[in-house]
């Protein structure tokens, strides 16, 4: 992460249809947001909230069981319009901003939800899919899940998987780990044969 630039680590949780059931006109809607704003490697603020779905307000049993989110929580959540306003307000106007997610689905769903509700997309900054950065850095053939990636570092994810703020914090932690590895690789000088062998001792032996 570069100094004097803002990084927004974001995770959304979405609605799901019942398994193997086709719901007419269904599309995933954001029902929980987790956001962490970072500047100069310091957390500036966080956002954690449930969001009321607009098109399909009743959660499927599959969604409630998989995410552990109750109907009451989303019923008491903020409106989608308020979510977009808070996302827009989170982006600093006087700094270069980077919106960081694990995978590209979060921004795809946000765009789709904005279009469906006729609301302008809130972000103007650069988008970073950290899962692709991770894949390129480690040379993996396939994209790795968020919590699998953090365990590969010998670490544990923050809190509970599929809780938006916990996943956003886990994404932030992985970003720091990858950054440290990149810095190490940039500063690393390969060992030479001279480093491995005490050449003076060899010369004395054969002189």
Residues taking part in catalysis: 13, 162
3-class secondary structure, 37: strand
**DSSP secondary structure of 88-134:** HHHS-SSSEEEEEESSSHHHHHHHHHHHHTT------SEEEEHHHHH
Tell me how far apart the terminal alpha carbons of the chain are, to the nearest angstrom: 53
- Helices and strands (H and E) in the chain: how many: 9, 5
Determine how β-strand 30-39 pairs with β-strand 5-14: antiparallel
d(CA 85, CA 99): 16
Cβ distance 38 to 1 under 8 Å? Answer: yes
Residue 175 contacts by C-beta under 8 Å, 6 or more apart in sequence? 1, 7, 9, 100, 130
The position carrying tokens 């956003």 is 168
């Amino acid at each position: 992460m570069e100094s004097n630039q803002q990084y927004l680590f974001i995770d959304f949780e979405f609605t799901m249809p019942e398994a193997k059931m086709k719901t007419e006109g269904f599309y995933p809607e954001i029902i929980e947001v987790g956001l962490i704003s970072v500047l100069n490697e310091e957390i500036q603020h966080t956002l954690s909230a449930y969001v009321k779905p607009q098109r399909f307000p009743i959660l499927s049993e599959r969604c409630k069981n998989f995410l552990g989110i109750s109907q009451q929580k989303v019923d008491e959540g903020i409106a989608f319009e308020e979510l977009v306003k808070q996302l827009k307000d989170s982006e600093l106007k006087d700094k270069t901003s980077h919106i960081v997610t694990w995978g590209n689905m979060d921004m795809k769903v946000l765009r789709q939800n904005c279009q469906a509700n006729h609301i302008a997309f809130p972000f103007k900054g650069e988008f970073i899919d950290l899962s692709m950065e991770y894949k390129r850095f480690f040379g993996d053939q396939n994209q790795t899940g968020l919590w699998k990636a953090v365990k590969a570092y010998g670490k544990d994810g923050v809190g509970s998987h599929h809780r938006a703020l916990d996943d956003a914090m886990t994404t932030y932690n992985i970003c720091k780990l990858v950054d440290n590895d990149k810095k190490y690789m940039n500063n690393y000088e390969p060992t030479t044969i001279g480093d491995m062998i005490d050449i003076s001792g060899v010369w004395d032996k054969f002189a």
